[in-house]
Structure 1
């Protein structure tokens, strides 16, 4: 087991197994976690081998390996070896018909999805999304959300979070403090929001405040001109302060991937800026070895405060496992009977 403190950083990798050079790099650099994409996953056994390979390299048998697995358009486990999960918006639609039934279906779906990941030793699907789906919200966000109603989002978000925790899958609510008003895709452009903070508190920020006991949260790439007109949220000390002190969030804060085009500057400089802003962990998941090496040089070891937040989060993880196929089939039957395609 490594005795050194891991770097406050997740990195990616290019293929389904680690090369000798990548193993040597991880052993030397000791990034906190590994972030997977579709390119890295083939089947259950391969994923378990990859997780074990990474953990052996960094010398930590609990080193986190995370992936994007929200359901709908964002689920990397989608090559036919795993069931496909419904988008969150379907549960929002069902909630308009029968809220209790929607909560039940959502719980079953997330128990199944969490169990599926935990069986492969994937520690989180970086879900759920608790952004709002407003009239003008860009489809890259709105297609992944529960509803335009912050109360419904908060209620359904709680169900998803609790179910994931129960299965030992770390819930990560995103994207704090909220992508609900973005009109451009942050993967390609920097969104700018001019809304007043008082307005945001009763709308976009509300689900994050209601769910502030969620162990982890992921920070958005956008500018709130009324909070910090100069820096995107993910590298802004002012926004970090708002999340901590105004929204009252004291869990682990990780950035969204810092290689997205919403940000400017070199990728490694963005790592430094995010950690300087006060966030616990920087996410740099592009996967090229030379870029990961640069990111690690720009990072720093996790702080004592961050380590305590991480330990507090891990202590909340359960061990429940369910029959994934049976629960998935139950959810599909609920939607067939409800008439939601």
Structure 2
């Protein structure tokens, strides 16, 4: 049975009987887990095992584990990781080590696709939804640090998801609640997409931005815009990997998720993401979702093969490298210990 082109959320710490039946009958491509799905390492490993018993050993299970305030695996059971901004002036080797440590705890829990790093710009005056989730303001710095983070996740055996393509950094609104409109010129936007262009061939997946860019499409946000996906994401950026939407249930998109699924796939996305975990919503989404295309399946297989080729683990040496670099930064800027930033 060909899986449907959907990644879906789940309701709690284990699959309910109704969820298990839905997954068997409709078979989405994979799942994404949130804090509501996480209690402790044993429970989490059991849940990811349940999902793969139904969907198959290679079914991707995603998690948002950036570090800082976006982390689903948290103390006391898992290490607290710094936000991206903590590494703006750190050596790339330290950032790669941090990402490999982070990826390692995800892989150990059965989570093989990590929705990170954020390649958006951290711009003054923009909405705080990005903020310290971004490495820097300068696109070339973001590209360099993003490449280190991607390499670290791949070395840990996890597939990265760069986000939010083609860029959320100029948004003045939070796409979780409303649709941001970006009025920047095409020239400014061409500079913003540099980090995504640099990492277009890295083997990472990419997650779309629910943002309307007036210079590229005055009517539709990127996620459902054939022009933005064709001309900018696949064209100017040159991204040919797995393109997954941000959550279709977010406030930026109007209409029911099940009505949007066909539109976003027709626009050029490979996978739809639906995160609510509410069974009626998920069932409606899967009832309207087309099957995964052969090209999308090829892209998923390529990303997994690239990650497995990079996979290696040296946790203790990595931790010393990461912590030493962050300690030096804290000593150079007393009172701004990057490991102590809010999560």
Question: Shift in Å at residue 143 of structure 1?
Answer: 2.0
Q: Normalised by the size of structure 1, how large is the TM-score?
A: 0.93
Which residue number corresponds to residue 233 of structure 2? 243
Partner deviation per Cα, 1:277-310 (whole Å, 9 max, x = no partner): 1100000011001100001012111111111111
Q: Determine whether 1:332 maps to 2:332.
A: no
Q: Determine whether 1:66 maps to 2:62.
A: yes
CA contact (8 A) 1:209 1:249 kept: yes
Which residue number corresponds to residue 40 of structure 1? 37
Aligned counterpart in structure 2 of residue 213 of structure 1, from 188, 195, 201: 201
Structure 2: runs of 5 or more not aligned: 331-335, 338-343
Distance (Å, rounded) in 1 between the aligned partners of 2:118 and 2:207: 9
Structure 1: runs of 5 or more not aligned: 96-101
Aligned counterpart in structure 2 of residue 89 of structure 1, from 85, 88, 93: 85
SS at match of 2:29: strand
Which residue number corresponds to residue 315 of structure 1? 305
1:181-200 equivalences under 5 Å are 181-200=170-189
What count of residue pairs does the alignment treat as equivalent? 328
1:13-52 equivalences under 5 Å are 13-52=10-49
Which residue number corresponds to residue 289 of structure 1? 279
CA contact (8 A) 1:42 1:79 kept: no
CA contact (8 A) 1:172 1:214 kept: no
Give the CA RMSD over aligned residues.
Answer: 1.3
Question: Shift in Å at residue 334 of structure 1?
Answer: 2.7
Question: Shift in Å at residue 79 of structure 1?
Answer: 4.1
CA contact (8 A) 1:7 1:300 kept: yes
Stretches (4+) displaced over 3 A: 326-330
Aligned counterpart in structure 2 of residue 75 of structure 1, from 71, 77, 80: 71
Q: Normalised by the size of structure 2, how large is the TM-score?
A: 0.93
Which residue number corresponds to residue 333 of structure 2? none
SS at match of 1:283: strand
Distance (Å, rounded) in 2 between the aligned partners of 1:140 and 1:38: 18
